[in-house]
Structure 1
Amino acid sequence: MEEKQTPFQAAVRPGLTIGLVSVALTFLVYFIDSSLLVAGWFGLVALAIFFVLVIFFGRQYRAELGGFMTFGVAFNFSFITMVVAGLISIIGGILLYQVIDPALPSVLAEQSVENTLEMMESFGASADSMSAEQLDEMRNSISDGFSLMGQIKSFGFALIFYAILSLITAAILKKKDKSLDY
C-alpha cells in the first residue's frame, strides 16, 4: 500500500515549480523590456498564472488522495505551495535587483512614477498637483521596495495575501466524500 503524502510534503514540488515559472517569467520580461515589470497588466497576468497553477497542482493532489479533500487539507496545500513559490520568487528578485542589475530599481521607480502620473491625468488630475518633494519621496519609497530589506518586508505582507488566496483556492479545491454522510 502506497503511503500518501501530507499536504506539506505534497506542496513543496508544486511550490518549487510555480516559483521557478515566476522567476523565469520575470527574467523573460526583464530581457524583453524591463519597464514592463511595473506595468499593472503584467502583475495581473502573473497573478492569474500563479492562481491557475496552484489550482492545477491542487487538483492533482486531490486526485492522489482519492478524489476528495477537506477544506483544511486544501488550505494547507495551497498556502505551503504559495509560500515556497514566494520564497523562490524572492530569491530570483534579490538576484535580479541586487546582483544582475543593481541600477534596475531606480529605473523601475522612475517608470512607476511615470505610470502613476499618467493614471492621475487619465482621471482628470493634473501632474503638476504633486510637488517635486512628493515625487522624490514617491520615487525613493518605490526604490526602497526593491532593496533587500524591502523585498523581505514585501514577502511578509505577501504572506497575508497568500493566506487570503489560499482560502479561495481551498474553497475551490475541497470536495467532500458524500458516501461518508449518514
Structure 2
Amino acid sequence: MDKSAQISQLSLKYGFILAAVSIVLSLTLHFVNPVLVYTNFMVSIGIFIVFIALLVISGINIRKEIGGFWTFGEAFKAFLIISLILAITATLYNFVLMKFIDPDLPARAAAAIEDAQRAMMAKFGLGNDEIDAALEKGGNMQEKLEPNFKNTFTSFGVSIASYGIISLILAAILKRKEPETFNTFPTEA
C-alpha cells in the first residue's frame, strides 16, 4: 500500500474513533446537564482542549504508523479527513439530538443562555433596560438553535472552517521531514 493510501486509511480509522468519543462525551454531558455545554464557558474550553489533544495524539500515531515522517501536505490531508468526519458526525448528532431525542432542548438551552447572559451583564453593572436591549439586539437564541436546514448548514460550515484552521496549525507543528542521507564512502575513479 502506498503512503497516501495508508494515510487516508489511518485518518479514517482515527476520525471514526474520535467521532465515537465525541458522541459518548456529548451524551454523557447531556445526561448530566443538557444545557451545561451552552452555559458554562469552562466546559466548552475543556472539551476544546481535550479534542485538540486527541487530534495531536492521532496525528502522532498516524505519523509513527507510516514510518515517522510526513510532509506538511500529508499531515494536512490526514487532519482534514479526521476533521471532516468529526464535523459531519457532530452536525448529524446535534440535528438528531435536537430534532428527535430532546426536541425541547433548543428552548431550554436558549432560556439558560439568556439567564447566563443576564447574570453576566448584571455583574458588569448594566441596568435591566440595557440588558433587555442587548439581548434583543442579539436576536432570538431559540431560533438560532432550532434544528432546521439553515442552522444545520451554518453549523457544518463553521465546523469545517474551524477544523480547517486547526488542521493547518497541527500539520505545520507535526510535520517531520525525513533526514537526507549522504553517501560518505569514497567513489572509485
Please give the TM-score of this superposition, normalised by the length of structure 1: 0.87
Return the alpha-carbon distance in structure 1 between the equivalents of residues 181 and 120 of structure 2: 54
Q: Which has the larger helix fraction?
A: 1
Identity percentage of aligned residues: 28
Give the structure 1 partner of residue 125 of structure 2: 124
Q: Deviations over 1:105-153 (max 9, x none)?
A: 1100111111222222233333431337x64674623442342321221
2:61 paired with 1:70: no
Return the alpha-carbon distance in structure 2 between the equivalents of residues 15 and 157 of structure 1: 18
**How do residues 26-105 of structure 1 correspond to structure 2 at under 5 angstroms?**
26-38=26-38, 39-105=40-106
Secondary structure (helix, strand or coil) at the match of 2:180 reads helix
Return the alpha-carbon distance in structure 2 between the equivalents of residues 125 and 107 of structure 1: 24
Q: Does the 8 Å CA contact 1:110/1:139 hold for their aligned counterparts?
A: no
Deviation at 1:94, TM superposition (A): 1.4
Secondary structure (helix, strand or coil) at the match of 1:87 reads helix
Return the alpha-carbon distance in structure 2 between the equivalents of residues 102 and 3 of structure 1: 47
Cα 1:23–1:115 shift into 2, 3 Å: same
Q: Deviations over 1:32-53 (max 9, x none)?
A: 1112121212211111111111
**How do residues 139-154 of structure 1 correspond to structure 2 at under 5 angstroms?**
140-149=140-149, 150-154=151-155
Cα 1:88–1:119 shift into 2, 3 Å: same
Return the alpha-carbon distance in structure 2 between the equivalents of residues 112 and 139 of structure 1: 12
Cα 1:181–1:91 shift into 2, 3 Å: farther
Secondary structure (helix, strand or coil) at the match of 2:33 reads helix
Structure 1 runs of 4+ aligned residues shifted over 4 Å read: 136-139
Secondary structure (helix, strand or coil) at the match of 1:34 reads coil
Deviation at 1:14, TM superposition (A): 1.1
What residue identity is the alignment partner of 1:81?
I
Q: Which protein is bigger by CA-based radius of gyration?
A: 2
Cα 1:7–1:125 shift into 2, 3 Å: farther
What residue identity is the alignment partner of 1:52?
A
Cα 1:56–1:135 shift into 2, 3 Å: same
Please give the TM-score of this superposition, normalised by the length of structure 2: 0.84
- Structure 1: gaps (5+ residues): none
